[in-house]
Amino acid sequence: MQIIESVKRATSGEAVVEGEKIGSQTIEALKAFSEDEIETLVLAQGLNLFSAGTDTTSHGLALCIHHMANNRDVQEKLYNEVMDVIEENGGDQHLDYNALQKLTYMDKVIKESLRSQGISFLERKCTKDYYIPEVNFTVPKGMIVTTAGSGIMHEVCFCSSACGGLNTDFASC
């Protein structure tokens, strides 16, 4: 609720507490909204941030589980690594930061699961005019360029499993 009060103070012209930064363009845009609309907007943005973080995390975990289910050898090796670290931790399943750092195979499984599916798209803003001779086209400065991330993540130079399957040896990752 503190952020809502800060936005209300800023749009009404009251002094803003030191450390609170709201751009002048944002303040001008928010002046067109009622207090109820501002509150709804702030709450909606907060929920959006929460759901975006939850969605990406759950998606990543689902990929890992999918790959472990389809690669029993990976699942078994990962299970053994976790059990070894728990044993080194005196049988305590509550692993601290240092114990988690010993789960190197788990780190590789997670990274490879995410790499094998790739990200859907990459978007970047072109910072200068760039000529592409193969297609006789100049990408103008400021243009948003979108490319398929999955194609990049399956390049041989990034990992030996360029076919898109799960690289289970992780030798080149």
Give residue-wise pLDDT tens across range 48-104: 777 777 777 888 888 889 888 988 999 999 999 999 999 999 999 999 999 999 999
**Whole-Å CA distances, 23 to 2, 43, 48:** 17, 19, 21
Tokens 């800023």 belong to residue: 10
**Whole-Å CA distances, 53 to 58, 75, 103, 124, 160:** 9, 26, 24, 21, 30
- Two structure tokens written together for 140: 């103008």
What percentage of the chain has pLDDT greater than the value 90? 31
E strands present in the chain: 121-125, 130-132, 137-139, 144-148
* pLDDT at residue 17 is higher than 50: no
Compute the distance between CA of residue 172 and CA of residue 162 in angstroms, rounded to an integer: 11
Provide the whole-model pTM. 0.53
Compute the distance between CA of residue 165 and CA of residue 74 in angstroms, rounded to an integer: 13
Which secondary structure element, helix H or strand E, spans residue 47, and what is its range?
helix 35-70
**Whole-Å CA distances, 104 to 49, 96, 99, 111:** 30, 15, 10, 11
